[in-house]
């Protein structure tokens, strides 16, 4: 089986490649990644010498690059993780989100049509359902809910999902879409809540919590997400959307406090800063469909997953310390200075 995984120098894609090479001995994986600020070759070091693995640096929105790789490799399955993924950055500069997340998806699907790929899988997000109110804990995101969007990021991901469904209906492209809740685990870029808090707490720096800290996210350990995608590409039905999440809702403040407790750092580091524009209140997935149809259930509880994650950041300081030097500091000052 030959698989193309795009965006796998980033957080979830890299974890997915490790998972797949470990699980399927006879699979060959090509990674296509343009190595934006979020992509890091260091991350792929554990597999770089594996002869089942090939890395190509390239942009998913560039038709010539994409078509020439498809011609060389004759992929059976394509899984698209490549994206601009950070909501705050999308609020600052939406353009690149539209290009990569929408046009990149189009180019990849055009190549899948041209070369007769048997399955195109779009890695989507629960953010395309908008948000849920904080005072209705009985409500959850289901696959049949209408798509809406609060941020340029979620609008770009929603647009991509619509395009994927259109390619299925119009051209009969064999597609699946997964929509997952917030992931956490090793190799997450320290601009996202959990790694940002770990890295800053370790340096005894102020921990920026947006607004009141009462916004709720539904956290899933990254390996559970990878296993779900593996199931969907093999057993999921063409043309279907699968939500992925494990009923693990926490307020942002709860998450920050858990991290501080594990690190034995004081809560006085918490600093409330101005809220994110258009900040979604609550995300919560109903994972009933993937559970019933494919038998998927999350296996890592939050208490265990957060410990694994913190331990990983403690043991791999070099990985994130390299990242948070230089350019990242400018990013932090720009996004948080005077907030």
Which amino acids are annotated catalytic? 126-127, 153
Could you tell me whether strands 53-57 and 28-33 are parallel, antiparallel, or unpaired per DSSP bridges? Answer: parallel
Q: Which is nearer to ligand TYD, 190 or 236 (CB)?
A: 190
Could you tell me whether strands 249-251 and 216-218 are parallel, antiparallel, or unpaired per DSSP bridges? Answer: antiparallel
Would you count residue 104 as binding ligand NAD (CB under 6 A)? yes
Q: Which is nearer to ligand TYD, 78 or 207 (CB)?
A: 207
Question: Which tokens go with 134?
Answer: 């904080």
216: left (phi over 0), alpha (psi -120 to 50) or beta: beta
Question: Which tokens go with 232?
Answer: 């969907």
Closest by CA position to 284, among listed 335, 216, 213: 216
Q: Which is nearer to ligand NAD, 12 or 209 (CB)?
A: 12
Which of 10-18, 39-47, 205-213, 309-317 is the region at the interface with ligand TYD (rule: CB under 6 A)?
A: 205-213
How far is residue 117's CA from residue 120's CA, in Å, rounded to a whole number? 7
Would you count residue 34 as binding ligand NAD (CB under 6 A)? yes
Return the one option of ligand TYD, ligand NAD, none that residue 215 interacts with (CB less than 5 to 8 A, by type): ligand TYD
Q: Report the residue from 168, 192, 265, 289 that binds ligand TYD according to the rule CB under 6 A.
A: 192
The residue whose two tokens read 């010498």 is 49
Q: Which is nearer to ligand NAD, 167 or 265 (CB)?
A: 167
Residue 37 CB neighbour total at 10 angstroms: 14
Burial class (CB in 10 A: 0-12, 13-18, 19+), 36: middle
Would you count residue 89 as binding ligand TYD (CB under 6 A)? no
Would you count residue 280 as binding ligand NAD (CB under 6 A)? no
The pattern of x and - marking residues 181 through 220 that bind ligand NAD according to CB under 6 A reads -xx-----x-------------------------------
Vertex 315, ends 30 and 298: CA angle to 5°? 60
Closest by CA position to 81, among listed 105, 55, 57, 65: 105
Do you know the residue count of the chain? 339
Alpha helices, DSSP H only, in 236-301?
252-263, 288-294
Return the one option of ligand NAD, ligand TYD, none that residue 164 interacts with (CB less than 5 to 8 A, by type): none
Q: Which is nearer to ligand TYD, 58 or 298 (CB)?
A: 298
Which of 2-10, 245-253, 279-287, 313-321 is the region at the interface with ligand NAD (rule: CB under 6 A)?
A: 2-10
Would you count residue 209 as binding ligand TYD (CB under 6 A)? yes
Q: DSSP state, 45?
A: G
How far is residue 304's CA from residue 52's CA, in Å, rounded to a whole number? 31
Q: Report the residue from 5, 9, 17, 87 that binds ligand TYD according to the rule CB under 6 A.
A: 87
Residues found near ligand NAD in the complex (CB under 6 A): 6-7, 9-13, 33-36, 38-39, 59-61, 81-85, 100, 104, 123, 125, 157, 180, 182-183, 189
Binding site for ligand TYD (CB under 6 A): 87, 182, 192-193, 196, 208-210, 215, 217, 252, 276
């Amino acid at each position: 089986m030959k698989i193309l995984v795009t965006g796998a120098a980033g957080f979830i894609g890299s974890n997915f490649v490790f998972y797949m090479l470990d699980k399927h001995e006879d699979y060959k994986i090509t990674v296509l990644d343009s190595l934006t600020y979020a992509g890091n070759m260091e991350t792929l070091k554990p597999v770089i010498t594996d002869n089942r693995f090939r890395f190509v640096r390239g942009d998913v929105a560039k038709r010539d690059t994409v078509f020439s790789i498809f011609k060389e490799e004759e992929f059976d399955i394509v899984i698209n993780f490549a994206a601009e993924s950070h909501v705050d950055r999308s609020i600052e500069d939406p353009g690149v989100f539209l290009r990569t997340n929408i046009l990149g998806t189009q180019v990849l699907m055009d190549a899948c049509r041209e070369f007769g790929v048997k399955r195109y899988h779009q890695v989507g997000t629960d953010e395309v359902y908008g948000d849920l109110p904080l005072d209705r804990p009985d409500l959850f995101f289901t696959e049949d809910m209408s798509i809406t969007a609060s941020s340029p990021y979620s609008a770009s991901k929603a647009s991509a999902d619509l395009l994927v469904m259109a390619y299925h209906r119009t051209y009969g492209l064999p597609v699946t879409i997964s929509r997952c809740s917030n992931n956490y685990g090793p190799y997450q870029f320290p601009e996202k809540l959990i790694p940002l808090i770990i890295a800053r707490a370790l340096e005894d720096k102020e921990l920026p919590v947006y607004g009141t800290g009462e916004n709720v996210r539904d956290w899933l350990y990254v390996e559970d997400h990878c296993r779900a995608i593996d199931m969907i590409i093999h057993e999921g039905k063409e043309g279907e959307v699968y939500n992925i999440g494990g009923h693990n809702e926490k307020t942002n403040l709860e998450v920050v406090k858990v991290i501080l407790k594990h690190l034995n750092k004081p809560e006085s580091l918490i600093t409330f800063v101005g809220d994110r524009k258009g900040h979604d209140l609550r995300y919560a997935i109903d994972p009933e469909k993937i559970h019933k149809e494919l038998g998927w259930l999350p296996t890592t509880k939050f208490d265990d997953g957060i410990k694994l994650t913190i331990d990983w950041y403690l043991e791999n300081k070099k990985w994130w310390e390299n990242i948070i030097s230089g350019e990242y500091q400018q990013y932090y000052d720009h996004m948080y200075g005077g907030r």
